[in-house]
Amino acid sequence: MNPMQDLYVDKVVVHMGVGESGEKLTKAEDIMRTITGNKPVRSVAKKTQPAFGIRKGAPIGCRVTLRGKHAEEFLKIALGIAGKQVSASQLDRQGNFSFGIEEHTDFPGMSYDPQIGIYGMDINVVLAKRGIRVSRRHIARVKLPAKQQVKAPESVSFLKTKYQVEVL
């Protein structure tokens, strides 16, 4: 088989939406730093929502982007926590998928602390094939050929073989 057609995990984005800034967001950042090992970046509100007390531009969450071996190790742990199951509705046409974890305490080494509370997180996984750089580079950028674009059935078989994940 052509090695350029093999799929790999391009990146894993872990996001925690807290809904407000302050102490709650700081605690979420500490949890994210502990779980992923990377420094989180704050997410800001795109719109003002007076009913929820959110202003445009106010920090309301945090996220971490993982790449390479670190992303694959984190993904193995996270898929294990999610029960090694992904719904077909969680995949998009480009073969990327997302799933959620309800409690951060499910991760190894994390325990419940009443002063911190329980935080959930969203995990978004982007899959790619080798050669995707031609569509991302600045000089001589080229549209990615159809055979190099990841399709949903390819990502399903990748999940089944590499991570033993059942797609429902």
Q: What is the pLDDT of residues 82-139, one digit of tens each?
A: 888 888 898 898 889 999 888 887 788 777 877 777 888 899 999 999 988 889 999 9
Average of per-residue pLDDT values in the chain: 88
Tell me: pLDDT of 166 over 80: yes
Q: In this structure, what are the phi and psi dihedrals at residue 72, rounded to the nearest 5 degrees?
A: -65, -40
Q: What is the pTM for the complete model shown? A: 0.87
Number of domains present in the structure of the chain: 1
| Beta carbons of 49 and 158 less than 8 angstroms apart | no
The domain that contains 163 carries what CATH number? Answer: 3.30.1440.10
Domain that holds residue 59: 3-167
